[in-house]
Amino acid sequence: MWAVSSPHTWLPLYLLLIGLVAWRFRSWKTALLIILGFVVAVGLSDVLCSGILKPLVCRLRPTHEPALDPLHIVNDYIGGKYGFCSSHAANTMAVATLFCLLCRNKIATACLMTWVALNCYSRMYLGAHYPIDILVGLLIGALFAVVVYIALRRCLRSLRADDGAARQGDS
């Protein structure tokens, strides 16, 4: 579970997703806009979870909760002091949901949602989060992914319209 929870473990997946976006949306402008959409969705999820909710709610992680002592600790990992809500859950859900909305592929959706579930389980296993921390993180990630998806669709329509007008002007 230690390796599953590490962002470095998933770096090849992130690179694969970027490659798939570039391949699927062959226009470099479109691919760049979509990659920017991923950055925005993950960034907003992370800021809301880590930057706003954790310091606002101030709920101790299971590893910091005195009432749960002794708690099974893996590799001496106790995480930051506060755990509500899970940035791991929000960020992975934002990536998975946005990719699934963009690509509409059942196999990719199943694989990415399995990745999200495994990542979330690892956070609970490590004592970093309670189940409600995970659930709220998942909801936040999905919400920002949908908002970014709607914005991307509008931007992509506008980009296609501009490209079409430019081609007609060249004739």
pLDDT in tens, 100-146: 999 999 999 999 999 999 999 999 999 899 999 999 999 999 999 99
pLDDT above 60 for 28: yes
14-23, 35-44, 71-80: least confident range: 71-80
Neighbours of 168 (CB within 10 A): 8
The answer to the question of residue 170 being in a domain is no
168 lies in some domain? no
By C-alpha distance, which of 83, 91, 79, 102 is closest to 138?
91
Tokens of residue 56, six digits: 């606002």
pLDDT at 25: 85
Task: Answer whether residue 78 shows pLDDT above 80.
Answer: yes
Binned at pLDDT 50, 70 and 90, residue 17 comes out as very high
pLDDT on residue 168: 63
Instruction: Give the helix ranges, DSSP H, for 6-130.
Output: 11-24, 28-46, 54-57, 87-103, 106-125
φ and ψ of 60, to 5 deg: -65, 145
Please give the tally of structural domains in the chain. 1
Does residue 84 form part of some domain? yes
pLDDT score recorded for residue 164: 62
What pLDDT does residue 161 have?
Answer: 76
Examine residue 171 and state whether it is found in any structural domain, yes or no. no
**Could you give the CA distance from residue 79 to residue 68 in angstroms, rounded to a whole number?**
15
Give me the mean pLDDT over the 139-160 stretch. 94
Is residue 154 one of the residues assigned to a domain? yes
Domain assignment of residue 65, given as a range: 2-160
- Considering only 50-59, 71-80, 84-93, which range has the smallest mean pLDDT? 71-80
Tell me what pLDDT residue 125 has.
92
Work out the pLDDT band at 91, boundaries 50, 70, 90.
very high
Average pLDDT over residues 145-151: 98
166 domain residue, yes or no: no
Say if 86 falls within a structural domain.
yes
In a domain, 169, yes or no: no
Mean pLDDT calculated for residue range 45-51: 96
pLDDT-derived band at 159 (thresholds 50, 70, 90) equals confident
Residue 64's pLDDT is 86
